[in-house]
Amino acid sequence: MTTPHRRRTALLAGTIAAALALAVGLTTAASAATLFSDDFEDGNATGWSSSGGSWSVVVDGTRAYRQSSTSADAKSLSGTASWTDYTVSARVKPIAFGNNTRAAGIAARASSTSSFYSLVLVGAGRAELRRTSGGGVAVLAQAATTVTPGAWHTLALQVTGSTLRGSVNGVQLVTGTDATFGTGRIGLLGSYASAAFDDVQVVTGSGPDPSPSAPASPSSAPSPSPSTSPPPPPPAGQADGYASVNSLGQNGTYGGAGGQTVTVTTAALLADYAGRAEPYIIMVSGRISVSGMITVVANKSIIGVGSTAEITGGGLQMGSTTRPGNNVIVRNITFRNASDDSVSVHNASHHVWIDHNEFWPGFDGSVDVKRQSNFVTVSWNVFHGTDKSMLLGHSDTFPADIGHLKVTYHHNLFDGSNQRHPRVRFGEPVHVYNNHYRNVGLYGVASTENAGVVVEGNYFENVAFPCHSTNGYADSAPGRLVQRANAFVNSGPCEANGSVPEPGSYYPYTLQSAAAVPAAVTAGAGVGRI
Q: Which residues are catalytic?
A: 420
Asked whether the beta carbons of 86 and 72 are under 8 A apart, the reply is: no
Give the H/E segment covering residue 93.
strand 86-97
The total of other beta-carbon atoms located within 10 Å of residue 362's CB is 22
Going by C-beta distance under 8 Å and a sequence separation of 6 or more, which residues neighbour residue 513?
226, 227, 228, 457, 485
**DSSP conformational letter for 220:** G
How far, in whole angstroms, is CA 112 from its chain's centroid? 35
Neighbours of 310 (CB within 10 A): 20
C-alpha to C-alpha distance for 373 and 371, rounded to whole angstroms: 6
Contacts 24+ apart (CB under 8 A), 211-216: 211/374, 211/403, 211/406, 212/30, 212/505, 212/506, 215/429, 215/501, 215/502, 215/505, 215/506, 216/501, 216/502, 216/505
- 400 CB-contact burial (10 Å; exposed 0-12 / middle 13-18 / buried 19+): exposed
Residue 123 backbone zone (phi > 0: left; psi -120 to 50: alpha; other: beta): alpha
Listed residue (65, 244, 72) closest to 167, CA to CA: 244
Cβ–Cβ < 8 Å for 373, 405 = yes
Beta strands 260-264; 280-284: pairing state: parallel
Whole-angstrom CA distances from 352 to 60, 161, 227, 238, 240 are 36, 29, 27, 11, 11
Strands 413-415 and 382-384, by their bridges, are parallel
**Closest listed residue to residue 344, CA positions, set 362, 313, 366:** 366
d(CA 440, CA 416): 5
